[in-house]
C-alpha cells in the first residue's frame, strides 16, 4: 500500500507575473521578450531548487501574457485561481503601472522583483508598486539586486536568488497549510496549555480546520479490528526485526511480564497504524466495510493526549509518535508525519513549519535542563569546550522524537537529517540500530508501553522554535539556532542518569550573539516560553522569520544575522531602529492573514 494518497489533492503552485510598461508603439514591444524571459528564468530557478513534500519538483504557472494593465492582471489572476496557485512572484525589468498591474489577492503571499538595470527603471516600478501594496494593506516582499545588471542579462544574482527561494519556501508553506486540518486525538494533557487547541488561531492565522476524536476511538478500532490486518502482520514482523528492546529499568518486583510486553508491542503497532489512518485515511478500509473511517481527517499534523487518562491504563503513545514522525517504517522510506506529544498543538505547529520549510522530519522535545559549565564540572569533572563552552540545553522527552534525530544519516560526510528521497536504506537502518526501545517507566506510564532511547550525534546545525499564545497579544514565535553537541560517553551517561535515561537525548548549544535573550545559554533557557520545543535540522531561522511575517506572527527572540532577515517591505514603515519592535507593530496592524 502506498501512502502517497495523503497528497492526492496536489500541491499549491507558484504564479509568475511578468509585468510590463503598457505603452504601445514601440515601448511595450521592445520589452516583451526580455520581460517574459525573466519570468521563465525565475520559474526555472524555483522548479529546479524546490520540491514538494512528496519529492516532486515545485510547479510554476506563468501568466499567458505580460501584464501591462488591469485586464491582463485579471486574466492572470483567473488563470492562477484555476491552476491552484498559492503564492505569486511579480517580475519586471521596467516601469509599469503599479495599481493596474499588481496582484490584489489578499490571501496570496506576494513578492516583486524589480530588475536592477539602467536601461529601464525597474527599481522605480518596484518602489511604486510596493507603496501601493502598503497603501492597500496588502504586504508584499520587495526584491532588488545589489549590483546593476546589463539589459537583457538572464542571470539571477545570488542575493536575488536567496530572497526568491526564501520567499517561495515560506509562501508554499502558507499555501500548503490552507484548508488542511489539525487532528486533536484526545484533549488536554496534564494541564499543558499548548494542548488547549485554540481554534481561532488555527483558522485565522493558518487557514486550517480543527478536527477532534476521543482517545476511545483507538479502543474501538482495536476491539472491532478497524485496521488493515495484513499490514498489521507486516508491521509487527518488521518491528520485531528492527526495533530492538532495551533494558527494563523498572524494579523487578513491578516489572511487566514477558507476556504483557509482547501484548504491548502488538497494541503500540496497532496504534501507529490507526493514528495514521485517522490523519489521512486509508483506502483499504473501504474494502473492509469501513467506508467512513477510510476518509480520515485530512490532517497535516496531529497531537495525541496520552497522559494521563490513556497512559494510566493503556500502553503509551511513544512508539506510535516516534515511528510516524520518522521518515521510514514497515512500508519503507516515506515522508514523515507530524504528531505532537501530549497534544501540544502549538509545538505541533512548529514541527509543521519546520517540516514544510525543509521536507525533513522534526524532533519534538522538552526543553528540560540548562547545564552550566560549572554544574557540568561539579557533577562530572568535565570542562565543556567548543560550541558547548557556554553551557548546554538538555532536550529530552518521553521517547516520541523522530528516529531521524539520531543523526545517523549523512550529508557531505557529516551527521544530518535529510528529505526522505535522499535517505538510503542503509541510513534508515542505522537510525533504527542506534535506537533501543525501553519498557516504559511504570512510575510515569502505569499502562506500560515502550519509549525510544537514542543519543543525537553532535555537529548538526539545528534550529529550535516555539509558538506561544499570549492573551491580548496573540501568537508569538521564538527561534534559536545552534548545534547538536557530542559529550564524552561517561559525561553524557552521568547527566542523563539524573533524569529518565530511557528517553532520547539531544545536547543543544544555541548560538550566542551577546544581545537580548542570546547573551548566554542560561538566558535562552530563561526566556523560552514553554516546556516544549520543535527542533529542525539546519539553520532555518531566516526562513521562519519570513514565514512568520507572512502569517502576521511576531517573533519575540531570535539569533538570526540581520542581513538574513527578509520581511515585507512595509515592515520598514513601522520603524527601522528596532526591527523586532517594528515586527510587533506591523503584525498587530495588519492582523491575521485569514481574518
Q: Tally Cβ neighbours within 10 Å of residue 399.
A: 28
Q: Is 532 annotated as a binding residue?
A: yes
Question: 173 with 290: CB under 8 angstroms?
Answer: no
E strands in 115-195: 141-143, 181-185
Residue 222 corresponds to which cell in the numbers above? 482495536
CA separation (Å) from 312 to 221, 307, 335, 447, 448? 19, 7, 32, 5, 8
Task: Point out the catalytic residue in the list 228, 264, 293, 342.
Answer: 342
| The 60-62 sheet, strands edge to edge | 60-62, 13-18, 85-92, 110-114, 141-143
Instruction: Report which DSSP code applies to 245.
Output: B
Instruction: Report which DSSP code applies to 387.
Output: G
Q: How far apart are CA 406 and CA 27, in angstroms?
A: 59
DSSP notation for 112-135: EEE--BSSS-HHHHHHHHHHHHHH
Burial class (CB in 10 A: 0-12, 13-18, 19+), 186: buried
Which of 313, 315, 317, 337 shows the shortest CA–CA distance to 326? 337
Question: 566 with 583: CB under 8 angstroms?
Answer: no
231 among known catalytic residues: no
Question: 485 with 521: CB under 8 angstroms?
Answer: no
The H-or-E segment that residue 436 falls in is strand 436-439
DSSP notation for 352-383: HHHHHHHSS--EEEEEEEEE-HHHHHHHH-PP
Q: Is 404 annotated as a binding residue?
A: no
329 among known catalytic residues: no
How many alpha carbons fall within 13 Å on the CB side of residue 253? Answer: 0
Task: Point out the catalytic residue in the list 228, 366, 404, 496.
Answer: 366
Q: Which residues pair with 138 in a beta bridge?
A: none
H/E/C letters for each residue in 478-540?
A: EEEEEEECCCCHHHHHHHHCCCCCCCCEEEEEECCCCCHHHCCHHHHHHHCCCCEEEEEECCC
Q: Is 5 annotated as a binding residue?
A: no
Q: Which residue has the cell 510515569?
A: 444
DSSP notation for 44-113: HHHHHH-B-TTSPBPPEEE-SS-B-SHHHHHHHHHHHHHHTEEEEEEEESS---HHHHS---TTS-EEEE
Q: How far apart are CA 555 and CA 47, in angstroms?
A: 30
Annotated catalytic residues are 342, 366
Binding site for Mn(2+): what residues are annotated? 342, 366, 532
Amino acid at each position: 500500500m502506498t501512502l502517497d494518497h495523503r497528497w492526492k489533492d496536489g500541491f499549491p503552485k507558484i504564479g509568475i507575473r511578468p509585468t510590463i510598461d503598457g505603452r504601445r508603439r514601440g515601448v511595450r514591444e521592445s520589452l516583451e521578450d526580455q520581460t517574459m524571459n525573466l519570468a521563465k528564468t525565475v520559474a526555472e530557478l524555483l522548479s529546479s531548487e524546490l520540491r514538494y513534500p512528496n519529492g516532486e519538483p515545485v510547479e510554476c504557472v506563468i501568466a499567458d501574457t505580460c501584464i501591462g494593465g488591469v485586464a491582463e492582471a485579471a486574466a492572470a489572476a483567473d488563470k492562477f485561481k484555476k491552476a491552484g496557485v498559492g503564492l505569486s512572484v511579480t517580475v519586471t525589468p521596467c516601469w509599469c503601472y503599479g495599481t493596474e498591474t499588481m496582484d490584489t489577492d489578499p490571501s496570496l503571499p506576494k513578492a516583486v522583483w524589480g530588475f536592477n538595470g539602467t536601461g529601464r527603471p525597474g527599481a522605480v516600478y518596484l518602489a511604486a508598486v510596493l507603496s501601493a501594496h502598503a497603501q492597500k494593506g496588502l504586504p508584499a516582499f520587495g526584491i532588488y539586486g545589489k549590483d546593476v545588471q546589463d539589459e537583457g542579462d538572464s542571470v539571477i544574482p545570488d542575493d536575488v536568488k536567496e530572497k526568491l527561494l526564501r520567499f517561495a519556501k515560506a509562501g508554499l508553506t502558507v499555501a500548503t497549510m490552507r484548508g488542511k486540518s489539525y487532528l486533536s486525538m484526545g484533549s488536554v494533557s496534564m494541564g499543558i496549555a499548548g494542548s488547549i487547541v485554540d481554534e481561532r488561531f488555527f483558522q485565522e492565522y493558518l487557514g486550517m480546520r480543527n478536527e477532534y476524536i476521543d482517545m476511545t476511538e483507538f479502543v474501538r478500532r482495536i476491539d472491532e479490528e478497524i485496521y488493515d490486518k495484513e499490514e498489521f502482520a507486516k508491521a509487527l514482523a518488521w518491528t520485531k526485526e528492527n526495533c530492538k528492546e532495551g533494558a527494563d529499568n523498572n524494579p523487578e518486583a513491578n516489572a511487566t511480564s514477558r507476556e504483557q510486553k509482547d501484548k504491548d508491542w502488538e497494541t503500540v503497532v496497532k496504534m501507529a497504524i490507526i493514528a495514521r489512518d485517522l490523519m489521512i485515511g486509508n483506502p483499504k478500509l473501504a474494502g473492509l466495510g469501513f467506508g467512513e473511517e477510510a476518509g480520515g481527517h485530512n490532517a497535516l499534523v496531529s497531537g495525541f493526549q496520552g497522559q494521563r487518562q490513556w497512559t494510566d491504563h493503556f500502553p503509551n503513545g511513544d512508539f506510535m509518535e516516534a515511528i510516524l514522525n520518522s521518515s521510514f517504517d514497515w512500508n519503507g522510506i516515506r515522508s514523515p508525519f507530524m504528531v505532537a506529544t501530549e497534544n501540544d498543538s502549538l509545538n505541533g505547529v512548529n514541527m509543521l513549519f519546520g517540516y514544510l520549510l525543509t521536507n525533513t522530519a522534526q524532533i519534538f522535545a522538552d526543553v528540560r535542563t540548562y547545564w552550566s559549565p560549572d554544574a557540568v564540572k561539579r557533577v562530572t569533572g568535565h570542562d565543556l569546550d567548543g560550541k558547548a563552552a557556554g553551557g548546554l540545553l538538555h532536550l529530552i522527552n518521553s521517547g516520541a522524537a523522530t528516529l531521524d534525530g539520531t543523526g545517523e544519516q549523512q550529508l557531505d560526510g557529516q551527521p544530518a537529517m535529510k528529505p526522505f528521497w535522499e535517505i538510503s536504506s542503509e541510513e534508515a537502518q542505522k537510525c533504527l540500530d542506534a535506537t533501543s526501545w525501553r519498557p516504559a517507566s511504570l512510575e510515569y506510564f502505569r499502562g506500560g508501553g515502550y519509549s525510544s532511547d537514542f543519543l543525537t550525534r553532535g555537529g548538526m546545525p539545528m534550529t529550535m522554535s516555539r509558538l506561544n499564545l499570549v492573551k491580548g497579544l496573540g501568537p508569538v514565535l521564538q527561534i534559536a539556532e545552534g548545534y547538536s553537541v557530542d559529550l564524552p560517553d561517561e559525561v553524557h551517561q552521568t547527566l542523563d542518569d539524573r533524569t529518565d535515561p530511557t528517553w532520547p537525548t539531544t545536547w543543544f548549544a544555541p548560538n550566542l550573539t551577546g544581545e537580548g535573550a542570546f547573551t548566554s545559554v542560561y538566558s535562552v533557557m530563561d526566556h523560552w516560553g514553554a516546556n516544549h520545543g520543535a527542533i529542525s535540522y539546519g539553520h532555518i531561522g531566516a526562513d521562519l522569520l519570513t514565514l512568520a511575517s507572512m502569517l502576521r506572527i511576531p517573533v519575540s527572540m531570535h539569533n538570526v544575522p540581520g542581513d538574513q532577515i527578509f520581511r515585507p517591505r512595509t515592515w520598514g514603515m513601522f520603524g527601522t531602529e528596532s526591527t523586532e519592535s517594528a515586527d510587533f507593530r506591523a503584525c498587530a496592524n495588519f492582523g491575521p492573514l485569514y481574518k
